[in-house]
Amino acid sequence: MPNATRPSAGAELKDAITILAADPYAWWAIHTALAHAASQVGGGENDLLKIALAALRHTTSVGFRSRPDDARTRFAGNRIMEWQDALYVVNELPEWRFPDNVLLVGWMVECGGPDVGRGPARASFQDASPAHYVGATRHLYNSGRHGNGPGWPTSHEWTAANCRYMSRHLATM
């Protein structure tokens, strides 16, 4: 059955390893930004805009460059909904498992927004809770109503204790 929200969803990659292998440069850039953000959140920083801008600076300082099309996500070059669904899939891998506040920073880095600069997003993601954006979108995703349709794996909400980039900081507290 065709998907009216996102007709291409049926043909999109639905396996984390396949998604990563399809564009390793983009996903390594995203992981770099998320790991940097996780270490800042784990260290006690809670200003998500400040964290996103620092994660973006860090990611570009180690050599990753944005794709040229501002209407698409920064490193992966996807439409927002397509990228969000892929992120939910990839975040199930043990070496990812970032909590929602870190994923929201990833949305800011990858999708942009008025306060982050380029990108297709029009929302100021830092102005609402991670539950409002990441959690609510996960609920739509898990119910097949985010344009992803059938065949996508379930996404879980991970805690700081599940995130290897934050658990280091938790052990020292």
| H helical segments located in the chain | 16-22, 24-42, 48-61, 80-90, 100-111, 130, 136-142, 164-171
Burial letters for 80-117: b for 16+ Cβ neighbours within 10 Å, e otherwise?
bbbbbbbbbbbbeeeebbbbbbbbbbbbbbbbbbeebe
Does residue 123 sit in helix, strand or coil? coil
State pLDDT tens for residues 65-117.
Answer: 999 999 999 999 999 999 999 999 999 999 999 999 999 999 999 999 999 98
State pLDDT tens for residues 149-163.
Answer: 878 999 999 999 999
Residue 112 backbone class (left: φ over 0; alpha: ψ -120 to 50; beta: rest): left
Domain residue ranges in the chain? 13-171
State pLDDT tens for residues 10-20.
Answer: 888 899 999 99
